[in-house]
Structure 1
Amino acid sequence: MITLHALQYSRATRVLWLLADLGQPCNRIDYDRTEAFRAPETLSKVHPLGKSPVIEDNGEMIAESSTILRYLAAKYDDDAHTPPRGTTDFWRHEALFDYVEASLAEVALQAILPAFRGQPVPDDAKTALDTHLDYVAKAIGDGPLLFGGKAMLADIQFSYIVALLARFGLLAGHPKVAAYWDALQQQPGYIAATRSAGPMAPPA
């Protein structure tokens, strides 16, 4: 059985979501955040950078949530969480999947971190975020999710960043992305993961 090292309020919920969709159990080891909202020192004994999520499977240690999601889809021969291979939608999906952490996350955190500290979001950070959220809104299209009504890997990947943006009121002025967040929260895998491990974003 896969062992999942899961930090509270983290990207680990993405992994739990996919496992729930696949009907696969895991041995979950939970880690609470420190008072400074950082990962505890014990996680550095699992991964040199103290990262979460990390999974262990058959002696292999795998980090990075995007890699973990792809690994699990391959391990369990899952083709329900990507559009058909070779199609235009498949490659659009792959681009969106990688966009979340390669491009969106850094921009989003420039707004999330000041909001988390109770500080005003700098104008340049808000402008950059608005540009990306407009891009996400176009990607959603007719919705409710990126490729219709069923969550794909890219939707699962988006969920954590969108959860944080919603938590700190940063989706104001972006109704399509706000509706997308509402639709994500209605997905069975999301519901199962958050019931099991708690919310993605910290409470108010």
Structure 2
Amino acid sequence: MITLHALKYSRATRVLWLLADLGQPCNRVDYDRTDSFRAPDSLKQVHPLGKSPVIEDDGEMVAESATILRYVAAKYGDEAHTPPQDTAAYWQHEAVLDYVEASFAEVALQAILPAFDGKPVPDKARAALHQHLDYITQLIGDGPLLFGKRATLADIQMSYIIALLAQLDLLGDHPAIAAYWDVLQKQPGYIAALKAAGPMAPSV
């Protein structure tokens, strides 16, 4: 059984969502955040960078959300959370799955961090965020999810950053993304993950 090292209010919820969708249990080890909302030092005993999520399985340790999602899908032979591999949509999906943390997260955090501290979001950060939100609106298209009606690994990956932005009222004039977030919150795996481990985003 997979062991999941899960920090509260973190990307670990993504892994719980996928496991719930697949009906697979895990041994979850929970970690509370410090008073300054950082990961505790105890996570550095698991991963040198103190990262979460991290999974352990059959003596192997795997970090990085996108890699963990791919690992879990491969381990359990899951093909329901990606488009068929012989289609262009499959590679579009792979690109979006990596885009979330490789490109979008860094830009989003430039707005999230000051907003979380109750400070104004710099105009430059807000403009960059809106550029990415426009791009994600294009990705959603006719929706309701990124690749149609079924939640994919890319949707699960996207959910955490969108949750933070929604909590901080940073989605702005992007009704398609607000509607997308509403649909994400109705997914059975999302609901199960929050029931097991609490909300993705903290109250502000």
Q: What are the Cα deviations for residues 110-151 of structure 1, in whole angstroms up to 9, with x where unaligned?
A: 000000000000000000000000000000000110111110
Does 1:144 pair with 2:144?
A: yes
Match of 1:71 in 2: 71
Residue equivalent to 2:101: 101
Letter in 2 for 1:9: Y
What do the CA deviations read for 1:73-93 (whole angstroms, capped 9, x no partner)? Answer: 000010000000021111111
Residue aligned with 1:113, SS: helix
CA–CA distance in structure 1, aligned partners of residues 65 and 93 of structure 2: 16
**TM-score w.r.t. structure 2 length?**
0.99
Q: Residue 6 of structure 2 corresponds to which residue in structure 1? A: 6
The answer for the alignment partner of 2:177 in structure 1 is 177
Letter in 2 for 1:113: L
The within-5 A match list for 1:125-204 is 125-204=125-204
Amino acid at match of 1:131: Q
Q: Could you tell me how far 1:175 is from its partner in structure 2?
A: 0.5
Query: Which residue number in structure 2 is paired with residue 121 of structure 1?
Result: 121
1:51 maps to what in 2? 51
Structure 1 unmatched ranges of 5 or more? none
Matched position secondary structure for 2:28: strand
SS of the residue corresponding to residue 144 of structure 2 reads coil
Looking at structure 2, the residues matched to 18 and 123 of structure 1 have their Cα atoms a distance apart, in angstroms, of 36
Q: 1 CA distance for matches of 2:170 and 2:143?
A: 20
- The amino acid of 2:170's aligned partner reads L
SS in 1 for 2:163: helix
Q: What are the Cα deviations for residues 143-163 of structure 1, in whole angstroms up to 9, with x where unaligned?
A: 110111110000000000000
Look up the equivalent residue of 2:3 and give its one-letter code.
T
| One-letter identity of the residue aligned with 1:170 | L
Equivalent in the alignment of 1:37: 37
User: Alignment partner of 1:69: what SS?
Assistant: helix
The CA distance in 1 between the partners of 2:149 and 2:86, in whole Å, is: 21
Cα distance in structure 2, aligned partners of 1:49 and 1:99: 22
Question: Sequence identity, in percent?
Answer: 74
The RMSD of aligned alpha carbons is 0.5
- Consecutive unaligned residues of structure 2, counting only runs of 5 or more, are none
DSSP-derived class of the 1:186 partner: coil
Q: 2-side partners of 1:167 and 1:192: how far apart? A: 20
Distance in 1 of aligned mates of 2:132 and 2:162: 12
In 2, Cα distance between equivalents of 1:47 and 1:91: 30
Distance 1:92 1:49 in 2: 30
